[in-house]
Amino acid sequence: MPRGALSAVGIAAALSIALTSCSSPSAPAAGGDAPAKGLVVGVTSDPDTLFPWKATQFQAVNVLQNLYGTLTEFDKDLNVVPGLAQSWEASKDGEKLTLKLRQGVTFADGSTFDSKDVKASLERLMDEKTAAVARASLASVKSVEAPDANTVVLELTGPDAALPANLATVNMAMLSSDDTEQELTTTPNGTGPFRLGKRVASQSLTLARNDTYWGPEKPQVPTVEFRVIPDESSIVSAMQSGNVQLAVFDDPLVAQTAESGGTITVAKTPQLNYHVLQLNGRHGELKDVNVRLAIQCAIDRKQVLDTAALGEGEVTGPITAPAYRSDPSKRPCPTRDLAKAAGYLAKAGKSGGVTVKTIVSQGEYATSVNEAQNLKAQLAEAKINLELEVLESGAFVDRWVAADFDAAVALNGGRPDPDGSYGRYFTSDGNLNKVAGYSSPELDKLFAEGKATTDQAARKPIYDQVAAHLEDNAAWIWLFAGYTYTATTANVQGFVPMASGSLQYLRTTSVS
């Protein structure tokens, strides 16, 4: 999901908070050595939920990744590696996956993690009543058995090549079987490297080191504070004054400004995330594929990239995962073609033009409003009116999850496996299909084939067909994939930026 801009009053208030916040907890103790320094991370928005199975907002995901554990994880190169499951093995027919769990793992409340918690978590994730955003990723699981405290057996409908990678997302976090959603919404209880410390709504959220964390990489800092400063430029000021030590920016101009002072280092990381104009093909004028194709042909994606992100990124197709990357030159209109757009509108009987109500997030990512305004200007030349409704981050997420929009300007998270990226959106039984607004029997068949095919070389042509189908039907309008810019002050070491946008390596970060 998305971040944005702020009024001058908001910027001033945010900067005031940053510069007048309490003195650092790392000040030397009287008569003794200086304690280990805590880390302050500048963020533009407060997490909208602390329940991992329903988190879609980037900031919520970034916090929850540090509180909860998953059965598998991604390493810095996005390879699937052991997490709470130290190993797993598929049967020869691919219809059973046996996981061996780590022993000696505890939750933040001190209770022991075992197979009972895994069984309860997976069964609740699979239950439609839970409304978990990753439910579709477990569609191949028929049943979950726990033959002993350290073993879990998943009975599958057939081979599922995507399952190990899908288990690595925090939306699949393992919860204690004793906890309820209501309890965890206010008091997270995970197996991650940190525990929840103090939270001040709309101001800050502080994590405290989990000294019993099971991982080989023990947390280096006693605390991580996510400090809300609703404007990236104000975060730069807070870093320059020493009140913030780390931040991840979306706006390349802000990143340039941060680095120009000489005291802040900026690392530029290509992202799997993609900027997109989501179209709800079940609403109004967008039910007609010709209207959607007209929108697709009327947009110069490179112009959107250049205008909103200073050209920092690349035009993309649906799939951004390196092993399965789509070729954007193969879409119906790889470059802007207003004549084709007019032709599609004529086919739809809409030569006089159409209006599409479009929601935009302000406060979730930096380029959203500029993207929306450029899209509006371009589409106006094709007699397509984007009627923009700019919403604050929380309101945008609520409308998005409810599929209460005709179109949405969004930044969506990509994943290393295309099934994890799109299976939950574009299959007819995907739990986010209502949000996607499009499905078809052809896509259902292709996604099933992709999951059942375990050889990566054989999977690539399948997902090429998925991408072609999405583009040929203009399910959404994929725009570009950009960069994140990780800014750190000179006394920060050990943080590893990831192409997924994950902040999981806060656990290896130290402050000298």
Helix (H, G, I), strand (E, B) or coil at 206: strand
Per-residue confidence (pLDDT) for residue 244, from 0 to 100 = 98
Closest among 510, 509, 497 to 77, alpha carbons compared: 497
User: For residues 112 and 178, is the Cβ–Cβ distance under 8 A?
Assistant: no
Q: Which residue has the higher pLDDT, 4 or 185?
A: 185
Per-residue pLDDT of 262-290, as tens digits, reads 899 999 999 999 999 999 999 999 999 99
Q: Is 122 left (phi over 0), alpha (psi -120 to 50) or beta?
A: alpha
Q: What does the pLDDT average to over 90-111?
A: 97
28 pLDDT more than 70 = no
Classify 72-183 by CATH class: alpha beta
What is the C-alpha separation between 368 and 394, in angstroms, rounded?
15
Per-residue confidence (pLDDT) for residue 36, from 0 to 100 = 73
Closest among 97, 40, 84 to 222, alpha carbons compared: 40
Per-residue confidence (pLDDT) for residue 15, from 0 to 100 = 37
- Predicted confidence band at 27 (pLDDT cuts at 50, 70, 90)? very low
Backbone angles phi, psi at 486, to 5 degrees: -90, 115
Classify 37-66+198-265+485-511 by CATH class: alpha beta
Domain 274-481 architecture = Roll (3.10)
Q: What does the pLDDT average to over 478-485?
A: 97
Residues of the chain with CATH 3.40.190.10: 37-66+198-265+485-511
Q: What does the pLDDT average to over 134-157?
A: 97
User: For residues 487 and 264, is the Cβ–Cβ distance under 8 A?
Assistant: yes
Per-residue confidence (pLDDT) for residue 45, from 0 to 100 = 92
Q: What percent of the chain has pLDDT over 70?
A: 93
User: For residues 479 and 336, is the Cβ–Cβ distance under 8 A?
Assistant: no
Q: What is the mean pLDDT of the chain?
A: 92
Q: Which H helix or E strand runs over 422? A: helix 418-426
21 pLDDT more than 70 = no
241 pLDDT more than 50 = yes
- Predicted confidence band at 29 (pLDDT cuts at 50, 70, 90)? very low
Q: State the CB neighbour count (10 A cutoff) for residue 217.
A: 12
Closest among 341, 331, 332 to 380, alpha carbons compared: 341
200 pLDDT more than 80 = yes
466 pLDDT more than 70 = yes
Per-residue confidence (pLDDT) for residue 33, from 0 to 100 = 53
pTM of the model: 0.87
What is the C-alpha separation between 507 and 176, in angstroms, rounded?
22
Per-residue pLDDT of 40-75, as tens digits, reads 999 999 999 999 999 999 999 999 999 999 999 999
Per-residue confidence (pLDDT) for residue 13, from 0 to 100 = 38
Per-residue confidence (pLDDT) for residue 35, from 0 to 100 = 65
- Predicted confidence band at 168 (pLDDT cuts at 50, 70, 90)? very high
Question: What letter does residue 496 receive in the DSSP assignment?
Answer: -
Per-residue confidence (pLDDT) for residue 9, from 0 to 100 = 36
Closest among 84, 313, 319, 107 to 212, alpha carbons compared: 107
- Predicted confidence band at 394 (pLDDT cuts at 50, 70, 90)? confident
Output the furthest CA–CA distance in the chain (Å, rounded).
81
Per-residue pLDDT of 302-342, as tens digits, reads 999 999 999 999 999 999 999 999 999 999 999 999 999 99
Per-residue confidence (pLDDT) for residue 143, from 0 to 100 = 98
Residues of the chain with CATH 3.90.76.10: 72-183
b/e for 88-97, b at 16 or more Cβ within 10 A? bebeeebbeb
Per-residue confidence (pLDDT) for residue 174, from 0 to 100 = 98
Per-residue pLDDT of 408-431, as tens digits, reads 999 999 999 999 999 999 999 999
